[in-house]
A = this chain, B = another copy of it.
Amino acid sequence: MNARTEWIVRMAELEIDPARIEAYTALLAEEVETSVAKEPGVLMLHAVSVNGNPERIRILEVYASQQDYEAHLQSPHFLKYKTLTGGMVKSLDLVEVDPIVMCAK
């Protein structure tokens, strides 16, 4: 997959309430899997947590276009995730990034 100029790429950095990590990651996994399966414009969502700090989560997000990103924000599975996880997220920082090279098997 060669990075294209119209792609929207960013990295979300979240801090989760330590008491709610298990519930949060279950909702996140469901939202990620549904988005990539159902939305043609959601190209990848890779979520990781920092080793030894499971409350610190980073998500690399790639959308095919601005229009696809905006459609994603209105999708029922994203709205469900946002609503149900709202009280679990202590902070959310969205880092806009530019792809240099993105390669995967």
Compute how far the CA of A104 lies from the CA of B46 in the bound complex, rounded to whole angstroms: 8
Bound Cα distance from A96 to B56, whole angstroms: 12
Interface residues on chain A, size class: 35 or more
Chain B neighbourhood of A37, CB < 8 A = 103
A residues lining the B interface (CB < 8 Å): 1, 9, 11, 25, 28-29, 32-33, 35-37, 43-52, 54, 57-58, 60, 95-105
For the complex with contacts A28-B100, A45-B102, A54-B98, 12 further pairs of A-B residues with Cβ separation under 8 Å are: A1-B104, A25-B100, A25-B101, A29-B100, A33-B103, A43-B105, A45-B104, A46-B60, A46-B99, A49-B97, A51-B97, A58-B97
Complex A-B: 7 CB contacts under 8 Å: A1-B105, A46-B99, A48-B97, A48-B98, A51-B96, A51-B97, A52-B96
